[in-house]
Amino acid sequence: MAIARLSQSEIETALADLSGWALREDGLAILKAFRFADFSEAFAFMSRVALEAEKTDHHPEWFNVYNRVDVTLTTHDAGGISARDLAMAAAMERFAR
């Protein structure tokens, strides 16, 4: 089953509810830089996200150094942003609290 790419207006509406997330310049991904107190908190966050990613079969692109986790979400099969990306971003927001 094909994964639908979201429209620009759907993406903009969703981003209004996702604090700190931004549209990548090319409009094909959303981005956020998470900051934590230390490496242990960053790693715990990444572990929770990894379990969710396996459960939903939707994996983030990310980069970690010490307390920082930079995340890019896109759906390659949709050629851009899909509902899967927004769901993963919302889960990340819950896990980062």
CATH code (residue 47) = 3.30.1360.20
Per-residue model confidence (pLDDT) at position 1: 64
What average pLDDT does the chain have?
Answer: 96
| pLDDT score at 2 | 79
Segments forming the whole domain that contains residue 27:
8-96
Tell me, yes or no, whether 1 lies in a domain. no
Which residue, chain included where needed, has tokens 């990548």? 24
Mind listing the pLDDT tens digit for each residue in 43-82? Answer: 999 999 999 999 999 999 999 999 999 999 999 999 999 9
DSSP lists the bridge partners of residue 80 as 75
Residue 28 lies in a domain: yes
In a domain, 2, yes or no: no
Q: Which two tokens stand for residue 48?
A: 């929770």
Question: In sequence order, what are the residues at sequence separation of 6 or more whose Cβ sits closer than 8 angstroms to the Cβ of residue 5?
Answer: 75, 78, 79, 80, 81, 82
Answer yes or no: is pLDDT of 5 > 90. yes
Q: Establish if 74 belongs to a structural domain.
A: yes
Q: From the CB of residue 12, how many other CB atoms can be counted at a distance below 10 Å?
A: 11
Predicted TM-score (pTM) of the model is: 0.94
- Of 33, 26, 22, which is closest to residue 63 (Cα–Cα)? 33
Residue type, 66: Y
